[in-house]
Amino acid sequence: MLRLGERTFAPDEPVIMAIVNRTPDSFYDQGATFRDEPALDRVEQVIAEGAAIVDIGGVKAGPGEEVDTAEEIRRTAGFVAEVRRRHPSVVISVDTWRHEVGEAVCAAGADLLNDAWGGVDPELAAVAARHGAGLVCTHTGGAAPRTRPHRVAYPDVMADVVRSVTALAERAVSLGVRRDAVLVDPGHDFGKNTRHSLEATRRLPELAACGRPVLVSLSNKDFIGETLDLPVKERLVGTLAATAVSYWLGARVFRVHEVAQTRQVLEMTGAIAGHRPPRLSRRGLA
């Protein structure tokens, strides 16, 4: 069972987490939702398309202009409060590694802290516990925030993923984060080369076997671009293929840019797996 905010998600229910970047330099949208009104329009759109979680980020993942704590809070906390006012039942997530930001956004109404940098700030889990928020525990191989991997190597990448995120999740629970509000993320591209991310994908059952909901953030990432030799804006088909495989292999939560297309892929994959019936069933019955 997964419980976040007012929502409870069934064990086989796929959950879409829509990305809303409050940054002027996002690798994907180049700042399209940096200003409040386009960002609020984006929230309306993704909820209508089927997103149950909205993931708000104030700092791009890759290298770029320095964004200090105060600026990250300015970009996210007030926006979280407005999204909460407009959408009382949506699950609000904030992508941050800083405990000060976590404190501000939880006070504003966030339900989930998406720690994409693997517990680099150990106080973030305590903030989640204090506010009754969920926590995403991500594998990064020890990479520092906003860095790209350089000649990174693992004796066994999935063994390292399982060991790392299990330790982070157990620590979070020991600090008071609800067990049913802790997710684990193998961290595609984070502290990994393309071959590592592909291996982590095909070995997802090993992570799912740990018994915690698995979140995957695959959308238009470099491992897809390198696998297919395609630029960012041409990676949708590869992203959807990786999404279908990941759902089949045990992933539960999908952090994405393209919500409507992802929903169709998850519904089709779920129907093949026997998790949901077809929307219609007329063929051959008349």
CATH of residue 219's domain is 3.20.20.20
Beta carbons within 10 angstroms of residue 87's beta carbon:
16
Owner of token pair 């996002």: 26
Residue 38 falls inside a structural domain: yes
Residue 42 falls inside a structural domain: yes
Residue 3 falls inside a structural domain: no
pLDDT of residue 90: 98
Mean pLDDT by 10 residues, the chain (286 residues): 96 96 90 95 98 97 95 98 98 98 98 98 98 98 95 97 98 98 98 98 98 98 98 97 98 98 98 95 89
Q: How many domains does the chain have?
A: 1
Whole-model pTM above 0.95? Answer: yes
pLDDT of residue 35: 95
Dihedral sign for Cα atoms in the order 268, 187, 134, 60: negative
Per the structure, the complete domain to which residue 118 belongs is given by 13-273
For the chain, report the end-to-end CA distance as a whole number of angstroms.
39
Residue 280 falls inside a structural domain: no
Query: Quick check: 168 and 147 in contact, CB under 8 A?
Result: no
pLDDT of residue 28: 86
Residue 93 falls inside a structural domain: yes
pLDDT of residue 30: 83
Phi, psi (degrees; rounded to nearest 5) at 237:
-60, -45
Q: Single out the residue of 206, 281, 196, 221 nearest to residue 19, CA to CA.
A: 221
Distance between CA 130 and CA 34 in Å, rounded?
Answer: 29
Residue 118 falls inside a structural domain: yes
User: Where would I find the H helices in the chain?
Assistant: 36-49, 69-86, 99-108, 123-131, 157-175, 194-202, 204-208, 222-228, 236-248, 259-273
